[in-house]
Structure 1
Amino acid sequence: MSLSPHLGHTPTKSQYGVRPKIWFAVYQLLWHLALPVAFLRLAWRTRHSMGYLRHFSERLGFTDGKAIEQGAIWIHAVSVGETRAAQPLIDAYLARGEKVLLTHMTLNGRLTGAAVFAEAIAAGQLRQAYLPYDLCWSVAQFINTFKPKFGLLMETEAWPTVVFYCSEIGLPLFLVNARLSERSARRVNRFGKAGRSLFQAFAGILAQTELDAQRYRSLGVQRVELAGNMKFDVPLNPSLVKQGKSWKQALHATNRVMVCAASTRDGEEAILLKIWKDVLRSQIFKTPPLLCIVPRHPERFNEVANQILAAELSYRRRTEWEGVPQGSEIDVILGDSMGEMPLYFSAADLVVMGGSILPFGGQNLIEACAAGCPVLLGEHTHNFQQASLDAIEMGAAKRIQPEALETTLKSLLLNSAELAKMSVAAKEFAATYQGATQKILSILDRQISS
């Protein structure tokens, strides 16, 4: 397998999966037609932050003028979750002395990467960029500019132009920490040979679970290996954990317990606030418990604040104070900060995992378990299917229906022994499945050198 792509080569036929000409031509046409919409969408988002327009040229495959060091290992992490999941792998390559090119699609992903890898960026060992829009000319410009050794796309990112172009020029491209839900596999199959050829064009797919591996194989992909889930290897920020424990200690000193509704999505906050109002009205607690809502997307912080006010609940924003929560009159904390999930999880006695109450597929429960916090899951967890099943089996999590959430919250918050038992199970679950990063490194070393 060549590590030196023939840059400047005009793509004609994929090294692995054959690029479907008609389907691909239609795809490119649609992308070009949608380009003005993409520009307008970025401009619209500037109402939240001007950061959306920074580095705009990168979205078209052009650099911002800084010196380019070629031959880096290219790792693509679309947003916050993928960036954090990639941390153990990036740290391992940095420790080897490798240069890393870290690309993103979202502003929040880029900001997260800038915070997590600040030292490597300052040392010139890691560079960030946006992955360009999936157009032939922009992708070719990006690859020809950076000339990476090989590429690693995180989890579910399979952009057709990127994948086929890398295959056609002989640049090894792997899908790592890969997952594929049953619904997504059906969607790919609906595109027939064209959809399957996309995944066949990867140099290799390193799947999180055996179920994921089987689904990729069902698409005709032969180069699939089981590697585990790198999210189990992501370290919790020790200073945030310490701060969270101080929160919990201060709350317990006043006999308060805290529930964290983590990474909530649009529509879920309204459900949770109604339930929480009923929990407080029940008056079964000597000291009322505290709810901490942490919306998944920061642009929704103000919207959720208005929902809390509409529910006639008192609240404070996390960004309004330093130290620990004060005042028994507070019903809700609005977690309006980025990158502080280890703090919230370490402070909480119980987590309700967002994205699982309504059909969004669920969010990452592993980080909560690593902090020793028991988890309640809704029925929609296909993005973390195996991890959810394993956590439930080990007693670290429970699955509940929305109509049973209020009863379950009351029962668990009044049962400190059950919460303590689940907390121990959560830590055991998080520790049991570690080791994916080293396995992925070994597989990639073998594949790249072959």
Structure 2
Amino acid sequence: MSPRLARRLYSLLLYLLAPLIWWRVWREWLPTHPRRERLGYVPAVGVHRCLWLHAASVGEVVTATPLIRALLDDYPDHALIVTTMTATGARQLQQTFGDRVRHHFLPLDFPGATRRFVARINPRLAIIAETELWPNLLAACYRRGVPVAVANARLSPGAFRLYRRLGALCRGMLAPLDWVGAKSQSDAERFRALGARPEAVAMTGALKFDLNVDESVLAASRRLRQRWGPRPVWIAGSTHPGEDEQVLAAHAQVRRHLPEALLILVPRHPQRFEAVAELCEAAGERLVRLSAGARVDAETTLLLGDTMGDLIKLYGCADVAFVGGSLVTVGGHNLLEPAALGVAVVSGPHLDNLREIADTLAEHEARCEVADGEALGQAVAVLLDDAPRRERLGAAGRQVVAANRGALAATRRRLAAYLTDTASNNS
């Protein structure tokens, strides 16, 4: 089957599934963004020079934040449009950048919607963060001659198997890519195996290592922690259903050894905040919600992080950080945020989304892995009670982050060279 025929069949399937797809994205909406954006109806860019970056959700926005800042610094004469698929990603972007970038929701991958979107923004360069690749969207870019780069490109083993089953559709999507900056050698090999041109794929490393935490965030962490006094504090960040229960059981185990211990629990998705609060209360925790602004006192056993954009500040308040999505088969979340702060990192075994990063931390004794909730409670209790061991783990994590920086600089150099090349070709 030819790639063109495969894409036509894919488009036909999308049209048949349109009611279900529209229902799924209906809730991913903000009052400031009309739902017609999902069909490519966005205002035309009123300037000649425009760059477009897509970051699917809040995790991709956080990872791409150093790159977005670099693009704003490097190309002040360009409009920068950032698209997300989710409302949480849009809120994270707004909180971080305000009106310095223009945000839209990504159109659904219908041929007409994607052609309309690309025509209206007319970017000089399209940059996709990580892996959100849509066949008709990329085809619309190729048709208009818009170069496409994938930054911090990753393909987990599961995603690789899925893309490989797509055969001609995947080859037609990847072969014309202008540049792929893979976060690891394994990711680079997977992109080449799926049909990306070998010469277009480079291993740049992970953008997550280029995390820079603002001093204002660190100061806010210090102020919070000072209010709580010298009690032991641990955090479970970016947790998922099936994981919260294990974390709460682990905290009960920790408090049997250290009764004054405080847990900060931060669910991954804001739509779960209410359900997790009820779960905490049912478990008998003396709960304070961050959104309520109430003070944590000596009787508080759990602080629920039910606000957006505060996770790294809360990591900075903790002695030990468990990073969620790893006790359940989600694939793990950003281990480097607490590591960069020198906080001892604990994770579960399910880390397919960031295997190379997880292995690097483990090789340098900068991450503790546990098999289940019971082991989590044991590990946290030991670390909270053993300051030298905890501090060694945190210091090793900070050193790993510092030693592996460089993906941002490599990506900036390649994008700068490419934009210079295209400007010369268009002059």
Aligned residue number for residue 291 of structure 1: 263
**Amino acid in structure 2 at the alignment position of 1:434:** R
* 1:345 matches 2:345: no
Amino acid of the residue matched to residue 214 of structure 1?
E
SS of the aligned residue for 1:117 comes to helix
* Conserved? CA contact 2:286–2:301, under 8 Å: yes
Question: Is 2:31 the partner of 1:60?
Answer: no
Deviations 1:189-210 (CA, angstroms, capped at 9, x unpaired): 2222332332223112110111
Give the match for residue 335 of structure 2.
Answer: 365
**Offset of residue 19 of structure 1:** 6.4
Q: Distance in 2 between matches of 1:71 and 1:159?
A: 24
Question: Which range is displaced more, 378-387 or 395-404?
Answer: 395-404
1:94 corresponds to 2:72? yes
Question: For the residues of structure 1 that align with 2:397 and 2:159, how far apart are their CA atoms?
Answer: 29
Q: Give secondary structure in 2 for the equivalent of 1:51.
A: coil
Give the TM-score, by structure 1 length.
Answer: 0.88
- CA–CA distance in 2 between the matches of 1:274 and 1:103? 39
Match of 2:299 in 1: 329
Aligned length: 416
Percent of pairs identical after alignment? 30
How much does 1:356 deviate? Answer: 0.5
Alpha-carbon distance change, 297 to 236 in structure 1, aligned in 2, over 3 angstroms: same
Cα distance, 1:66 vs structure 2 = 7.4
Aligned to 2:207: 230
Cα distance in structure 1, aligned partners of 2:124 and 2:375: 52
Distance 2:212 2:71 in 1: 16
SS at match of 2:113: helix
2:406 corresponds to 1:435: yes
Q: Kindly report the root-mean-square deviation, in angstroms, between the aligned alpha carbons of the 2 structures.
A: 2.0
Measured at CA, do residues 302 and 357 of structure 1 come closer, stay the same or move farther in structure 2, by a change above 3 Å?
A: same
- Counterpart of 2:53 in structure 1 is 75
Q: Are positions 1:34 and 2:4 aligned together?
A: no
| Aligned: 1:140 with 2:115 | yes
- Kindly provide the CA deviation profile for residues 19-60 of structure 1, in whole angstroms up to 9, marking residues without a partner as x: 6233212211222222222333344x38xxx62783211110
Which string of whole-angstrom CA distances, capped at 9 and with x for unpartnered residues, describes residues 222-257 of structure 1?
A: 210111111222322322221112223333x3x311
Name 1:263's counterpart in structure 2: 238
Gapped runs of 5+ residues in structure 1? 1-17, 121-125
Partner of 1:10: none
Partner of 1:218: 193
1:154–1:177 contact (8 Å) kept in structure 2: yes
What corresponds to 1:408 in structure 2? 379
Q: Measure the CA separation in 2 of the matches of 1:118 and 1:320.
A: 24
TM-score, normalization: structure 2?
A: 0.92
Secondary structure of the residue aligned to 2:221 is helix
* Amino acid aligned to 1:71: R
2:425 aligns with none
Distance in 2 between residues matched to 1:377 and 1:317, nearest whole Å: 24
Q: 1:160 to 1:19 in 2, by over 3 A?
A: farther
CA deviations over 1:355-409 (Å, ceiling 9, x no partner): 0010000001111111111111111111111111111122221111104222212
SS where residue 128 of structure 1 aligns? strand
171-180 or 424-433: bigger deviation: 424-433
Question: Residue 69 of structure 1 contacts residue 146 of structure 1 at CA under 8 Å; is this kept in 2?
Answer: no
Maintained 8 Å contact 2:233/2:319: yes
What code does the residue aligned with 1:445 have? Answer: A
SS in 2 for 1:368: helix
Is 2:84 aligned against 1:107?
A: no
Contact 1:84/1:234 (CA < 8 Å) preserved in 2? no
